[in-house]
Amino acid sequence: MRLLFLGDVVGRPGREAVQRYLPALRARLKPDCVVINGENAAGGFGITEGIYQELLDAGADAITLGNHAFDQRETLVFIERAPRLVRPANLPPGTPGRGAALVELADGRRVLVINVLGRISMDAVDCPFRATEREIELCPLREMADAILLDLHAEATAEKQALAWHFDGRVSVAVGTHTHVPTADHRLFPGGTAYQTDAGMCGDYHSVIGFDWREPTRRLVEKIPGSRWESATGDGAVSGILVETDDRTGLAQRIAPVRQGAHLAETLPDW
């Protein structure tokens, strides 16, 4: 099975980049399942129902979220009728929506998509290790899921790596999001889990993590509050990974970075 994961969609440039590049990527790379992190899709803060549908129409099979999951108030309502929208599994009990989704593909194979929040330099949430354990126990690899993709939405690289090591051999893919910068450490762990610390973002890289550079730079220089951060408005790029798994084991056989669009050197797998 081929799994294509694209990192955080940031604002309109990110959405337009997904719409521009994903159809061709699907045709060229032939992924069986596409998962996109959409937590910054609405102007950099959260997601709306219209944007959720927009990303599905562009070719996503599931959309994950993160610490901005409910920045748009309407998400509290529509997430209950959005079965392929996955918010962090380690939010408090009673939070609307689901922390994992079992996506059934056209050929009958099933992909479990899990989203968890890190706790280092983030808001206080439940334990991401225990939350992931719970979701995997409910839907184990090879027994109920043909592949498992774990979106590690966290600030600290060490925390992402520790989560991936802990679940090595029990998930097909453990990929980091949230910091919006693609890392160069894509690899296979000894137990067969494909990993990259951060998938990067889908957005305008001529920016500060997808936002117009002026306000975040001013805050760092002057150290006083100012206006709201606004997403950048230039041409966007898509960034993520392609993973191929063994259908017999559900574990990864190879991983490669995927990057295409403005301001980034194009990187596409040759397999």
Type of residue at 236:
G
Q: Which of 68, 153, 178, 186 is catalytic?
A: 68
Question: Is the separation of the CB atoms in 100 and 114 below 8 Å?
Answer: yes
237-245 and 252-261: which strand pairing? antiparallel
Measured distance CA(3)–CA(148) in Å, rounded: 10
Q: Which of 114, 157, 156, 148 is nearest to 132 (CA)?
A: 114
Measured distance CA(155)–CA(126) in Å, rounded: 16
Question: Is the separation of the CB atoms in 43 and 37 below 8 Å?
Answer: no
Give CA separation, 269 vs 2, 96, 198, 253, 256, in Å. Answer: 12, 37, 18, 14, 6
Question: Quick check: is 68 catalytic?
Answer: yes
Measured distance CA(9)–CA(43) in Å, rounded: 10
Q: Which of 35, 44, 36 is nearest to 10 (CA)?
A: 44
Measured distance CA(40)–CA(75) in Å, rounded: 13
Measured distance CA(106)–CA(127) in Å, rounded: 34
Question: Is the separation of the CB atoms in 99 and 130 below 8 Å?
Answer: no
**CB-based contacts of 10, cutoff 8 Å, min separation 6:** 40, 41, 44, 180, 201, 202, 203, 204, 209, 210, 211, 231, 232
Give the active site residues. Answer: 68
